[in-house]
Amino acid sequence: MKTNFFILVLALVIGSHTGIAQERFKLGEVPMDDLTMTVYPGDTSAIAVVLYEDCAVRYEIDPTRNDFKVVTNHTAQIKILKQAGLDKANISIPFYKGKTNIMSERIYGIIGYVYNIENGRVVRTKLSKRQIFIENTSENWQRVKIAFPNVKPGSVIELKYEKSSPYYNDLDDFVFQSSIPVRYSRYRVTIPEYFTFRKRTAGYEHIDYLEKNVNIIYILKGGNTLSCNGQEMTFVTTNLPAMDSDSYVWNANDFRSRVIFDLMRVEVPGVFYNDFTTTWTEIDRRLNENERFGRQMRFSNLMRDELAAVLKENMSSHDKVVAVLDLVKASILWNEEEVLYIDNVRRAIREGKGSSAEMNAVLICLLRDAGFNAYPVVMSLRSRGRIFSMFPTQKSLNYFIVGVDIDGKPAYIDASYKYGTVNVIPPNCMVQEARSIFMDRPAAWVDLHDIGQNSYSINITAKFNGEDRLSGTVQRIMTGVPSASYSRKVENQKSIEDTQSEIETELNINILDFEQGKPQNISVTEKFSFESNETSLGDEYIYVNPLIFPYIKDNPFKAETRKLPVEYSYPYEHVTSVTLMIPEGYVLDEAPVSEVINLGDKQITYSYQTQKSENDIQVIQRININQTLYPTMDYQEVRNFWANIASKNNSQLVFKRVATQ
Contact 378, 434 (CB under 8 A): yes
- Of the residues 231, 255, 275, which one is the last residue of a structural domain? 275
More confident residue, 459 or 491: 459
- 6 within a domain of the structure (yes/no): no
More confident residue, 104 or 19: 104
- pTM across the whole model: 0.85
Q: Is the pLDDT of residue 466 over 80?
A: no
Q: Is the pLDDT of residue 47 over 90?
A: yes
- 505 within a domain of the structure (yes/no): no
Q: DSSP letters of 181-235?
A: -EEEEEEEEEEETTEEEEEEEESSS-EEEEEEEEEEEEEPTTS-EEEEEEEEEEE
Q: DSSP letters of 247-306?
A: TT-S-GGGTS-EEEEEEEEEEETTTEEEE----HHHHHHHHHH-TTTGGGG----TTHHH
Q: Is the pLDDT of residue 165 over 60?
A: yes
The answer on 300 and 270 residing in a single domain is no
The answer on 316 and 268 residing in a single domain is no
Look up residue 22 and give its DSSP letter.
P
CATH number of residue 187's parent domain: 2.60.40.3140
Q: Is the pLDDT of residue 140 over 50?
A: yes
Q: DSSP letters of 139-161?
A: SSEEEEEEE-SS--TT-EEEEEE
pLDDT tier at 110 (50, 70, 90 boundaries)?
very high
Average per-residue pLDDT in the chain?
A: 90
C-alpha span between 178 and 51 (Å, rounded): 12
The answer on 49 and 81 residing in a single domain is yes
What's the number of domains the chain is made of? 3
Q: Give the chain's radius of gyration (CA, Å).
A: 30
C-alpha span between 557 and 638 (Å, rounded): 8
**Residue 567 has what pLDDT?**
94
The answer on 541 and 425 residing in a single domain is no
C-alpha span between 208 and 14 (Å, rounded): 6
Residues 6 or more apart whose Cβ sits within 8 Å of residue 146: 90, 91, 92, 93, 110, 112, 127, 131, 132, 133, 159
Q: Is the pLDDT of residue 10 over 60?
A: no
More confident residue, 457 or 537: 457
**Residue 7 has what pLDDT?**
35
Residue 42: name the closest of 180, 194, 230, 186 by CA: 180
The answer on 384 and 402 residing in a single domain is yes
**Residue 181 has what pLDDT?**
97
C-alpha span between 510 and 532 (Å, rounded): 6
- Max mean pLDDT among 59-63, 259-263, 318-322 falls in 318-322
- Of the residues 411, 446, 481, which one is the last residue of a structural domain? 446
**Residue 522 has what pLDDT?**
81
Element (H, E) at 511: strand 509-515
Q: Is the pLDDT of residue 285 over 80?
A: yes
Angle at 527 between CA 523 and CA 532, to 5 degrees: 140
**Residue 235 has what pLDDT?**
97
The answer on 228 and 203 residing in a single domain is yes
- Of the residues 401, 431, 446, which one is the last residue of a structural domain? 446
The answer on 173 and 63 residing in a single domain is yes
- 502 within a domain of the structure (yes/no): no
Contact 334, 359 (CB under 8 A): yes
Q: State whether residue 126 is helix, strand or coil.
A: strand
Mean pLDDT on 349-368:
97
Q: State whether residue 552 is helix, strand or coil.
A: coil
- 99 within a domain of the structure (yes/no): yes
**Residue 1 has what pLDDT?**
36
C-alpha span between 367 and 325 (Å, rounded): 9
Q: Is the pLDDT of residue 601 over 70?
A: yes
**Residue 465 has what pLDDT?**
80
Percent of the chain with pLDDT over 90: 73
More confident residue, 66 or 548: 548
Buried b (16+ CB within 10 A) or exposed e, 170-188: ebbebbbbbebbbbbbbbb
The answer on 287 and 267 residing in a single domain is no
Phi, psi of 319 (to 5 degrees): -65, -35
The answer on 285 and 242 residing in a single domain is no
Phi, psi of 37 (to 5 degrees): -60, 130
**Residue 23 has what pLDDT?**
63
Q: State whether residue 117 is helix, strand or coil.
A: strand
Q: Is the pLDDT of residue 223 over 90?
A: no
Mean pLDDT on 125-132:
93
**Residue 13 has what pLDDT?**
44
Contact 522, 424 (CB under 8 A): yes
Q: Is the pLDDT of residue 257 over 70?
A: yes
CA atoms within 13 A on the CB side of 316: 5
Q: Is the pLDDT of residue 333 over 50?
A: yes
The answer on 305 and 364 residing in a single domain is yes
Q: Phi/psi class of residue 600: alpha, beta or left (left: φ > 0; alpha: ψ in -120 to 50)?
A: left
The answer on 294 and 176 residing in a single domain is no
CATH number of residue 658's parent domain: 2.60.120.1130
Q: Is the pLDDT of residue 293 over 60?
A: yes
Percent of the chain with pLDDT over 70: 95
Phi, psi of 247 (to 5 degrees): -60, -20
Q: Where are the alpha helices (DSSP H) in 370-507?
A: 481-492, 496-507
Q: Is the pLDDT of residue 261 over 50?
A: yes
Range of the domain at 372: 280-446
**Residue 469 has what pLDDT?**
82
- 521 within a domain of the structure (yes/no): no
C-alpha span between 517 and 495 (Å, rounded): 13
CATH number of residue 403's parent domain: 3.10.620.30
- 236 within a domain of the structure (yes/no): yes
The answer on 164 and 78 residing in a single domain is yes
Contact 359, 420 (CB under 8 A): no
- 519 within a domain of the structure (yes/no): no
**Residue 269 has what pLDDT?**
81
Residues 6 or more apart whose Cβ sits within 8 Å of residue 466: none
Q: Is the pLDDT of residue 577 over 90?
A: yes
Element (H, E) at 639: helix 635-649
Residue 123: name the closest of 102, 151, 95 by CA: 151
